[in-house]
Amino acid sequence: MKRPTIKDIAAAAGVSKGAVSLALNGRSGVSELTRSRVLEVASTLGYRPSVTARALSSASADAVGLVLVRPPRALGDEAFFFQLIAGMQSEMSCALLLQVVDSREAEIALYQRWWAEHRVDGVFLVDLLVSDPRVELMSALGLPAVVVGGAGHHGELASVWADDYAAMTSVVEYLKSLGHQRIARVAGLASLLHTVRRDAAFASSVVDGVVVAGDYTAEAGARATRELLAMDARPTAIVYDNDVMAVAGAEVAASLGLAVPAELSIVAWDDSVLCQHGRLTALSRDTFAFGARAARALVAVIDGASPTDVEDVLPELVVRGSTGPV
Amino acid sequence: MKRPTIKDIAAAAGVSKGAVSLALNGRSGVSELTRSRVLEVASTLGYRPSVTARALSSASADAVGLVLVRPPRALGDEAFFFQLIAGMQSEMSCALLLQVVDSREAEIALYQRWWAEHRVDGVFLVDLLVSDPRVELMSALGLPAVVVGGAGHHGELASVWADDYAAMTSVVEYLKSLGHQRIARVAGLASLLHTVRRDAAFASSVVDGVVVAGDYTAEAGARATRELLAMDARPTAIVYDNDVMAVAGAEVAASLGLAVPAELSIVAWDDSVLCQHGRLTALSRDTFAFGARAARALVAVIDGASPTDVEDVLPELVVRGSTGPV
DNA sequence: GACCCTAGCTAAACCGGTTTATCTCCGGCT
DNA sequence: AGCCGGAGATAAACCGGTTTAGCTAGGGTC
């Protein structure tokens, strides 16, 4: 099976290749009569322009890129990213080029390669590091990019984020209002910018707080929880940096015979089916809408808009059965 | 910033474009001396071939495609697909072009477009329908494709699947061995091939069975469960077609005051964190490995291997707290 | 009538590769 | 010496578009 090309249309319509190109792209230089004839021929022939060829003439690649740095196995449990991707898709007419790599170096190399190969019109940057080399890279390459969830402004790039600082503060205030004093936090990866933000907010609003590092896995959540509950003055409330760790923590508490929320209050960051089912109080944000917003921002930048920062609505605390007065 | 092209290398090495192409692709026609000089120049210049340009000359697009037909919102909860995608990625050196569309027609149009645009070297076909038009389409287009989870052989296409029939039979046999007679099934979408397979297996191994249709959502699972439990001779065991519906069903049972597993046994198809946490007996398959296997099959077909069928290992029944004797 | 403009179109170059036809040179064979 | 063959390289065509330079015809100006 052979696809019709611009040449076929030119021949069928009795005009030149150039005229067809002008007509199809709605540009001036051809008469309305010719344009309509070309369009008609194109549609009867079922013509579809080849992005490949078009991209070659330094036009659009009709795709945007997303690189995830993860051990592939771990990815499947992180509903967050899938929600995010689904949301992005909802606002994009173009395709998403997705690749999972296992190191930051590979990620950078891949972005460079995609750029060099004219494969993408722009990219999303997720999991922003404290001083992330990617920000510089994008500027240097001139590759349109949107920082997703990077809490704040980043160089010349557009940014879409939620205020982790305010959110953490509101969680702590909520717990304090219930009478909690000894509040603990099971944090995420320390290299990530939002972890630092949450750390800062936590430190400044909690008087008697302790932070344990985690890595978003159930094992880390369980281990951190055991550690916290074994302390002399054990905390009366724990805030987890994601849902998986929170659920694991809840199970540890149950296995130790601790009543939730009577003896221990639990809050999860990021809501999910897991939290809903486990009846955990969670900081809920609409990840799907967040992804959609990021996609809109990227499309705008690609279309030549000057990069802007979009602050997402503050995550909302959904109170379920896992939090209560001391 | 400007990236080096094959022309720059040719100039720097003092040879022609053609020679550079031959040298870089390890083909004969250039002396070893020239080849090594070209390679050296290329590496010092940081040369990266443009897939775009290469694809134009009807070579590889260095990407494979996957189209999902879903309401985007619903996608985020389906860990299955994300696991699958993660697994695919683990075995592919090329990128995955992912797009979510909302109708079967759009899906077909997209496959055709990707083919016409030389965007992908091959595609995955998921959610196979009973007599799926895509199978014909791929053959007609000559686009390498692998049917994923399509239970059996499909025209000229390679296929990677698990034996749903045998799996369903084993689940039913297990329940029968516990003494269950009235067994119900909450099925998935009737248009999907694997639903039909499971239906057939269920019908032939259960004597006194009843099937209710669902659509994989929690709501459908709850509704179906209520319906089943309201029957005169209510079932003593229910097999759900996915984890989300099973968990919802378990909650309905709990809300009706029915003890699980004493009064009702529950089995979920597809294991997940949700099942683990809800302590549901589940039919577990390694979706990640499944995706990896599918990717290997697609890579092989793209490389010119003749399409083969790969049967995945039988899903394993992980018995947890939700099943027991009548 | 000479001149200039512009609309409307074509031919051709270009993007960055691959591939084919062609050309040159050199060695081996009769 | 004359012929053939093959290795090694180059020029040029090609893929399917975009873009630019250039050509032509028609209309307005003076």
Q: What is the pLDDT of residues A10-37, one digit of tens each?
A: 988 899 998 999 998 888 888 888 899 9
Q: How far is the CA of A12 from the C1' of D3 (A)?
A: 52
Q: How far is the CA of B15 from the C1' of D3 (A)?
A: 31
B5 phi/psi in degrees, rounded to 5: -110, 180
Residues in chain B within 8 Å Cβ distance of A70: 86
Go through A52-63 and write b for each residue having 16 or more CB atoms within 10 A of its CB, e for each that does not. bbbbbeeeebbb
- Taking only the tens place, the pLDDT of each residue in A147-192 is 998 877 888 899 999 899 999 999 999 999 999 999 999 999 999 9
Cβ–Cβ below 8 Å for B86 and A98:
no
Q: Which residue does chain A place closest to B143, by CA atoms?
A: A1
Q: Could you list the pLDDT tens digit for every one of the 326 residues in chain B?
A: 677 889 989 988 888 888 999 998 888 888 888 899 999 999 888 888 888 888 877 667 788 999 998 877 777 677 788 889 889 988 887 889 988 888 999 999 888 888 877 788 899 999 999 889 999 999 888 889 999 988 778 888 999 998 999 999 999 999 999 999 999 999 999 999 999 999 999 999 998 889 999 988 889 999 999 999 999 999 999 999 999 899 999 999 999 999 989 999 999 998 888 888 889 999 998 888 999 999 999 999 988 888 888 888 889 999 999 999 98
pTM: 0.83
Q: Which residue, among B64, B78, B80, B98, would best test binding to A if mutated, counting the most A CBs under 10 Å from its CB? A: B98
Q: Which residue does chain B place closest to A286, by CA atoms?
A: B73
Residues in chain A within 8 Å Cβ distance of B143: none
Q: Which residue, among A7, A43, A60, A82, would best test binding to B if mutated, counting the most B CBs under 10 Å from its CB? A: A82
Residues in chain B within 8 Å Cβ distance of A53: 56
- The distance of B294 to chain A (nearest Cα, Å) reads 15
Strand C nucleotides within a 7 Å radius of protein CB atoms = 7-21
- Distance from first CA to last CA of chain B, Å, rounded? 72
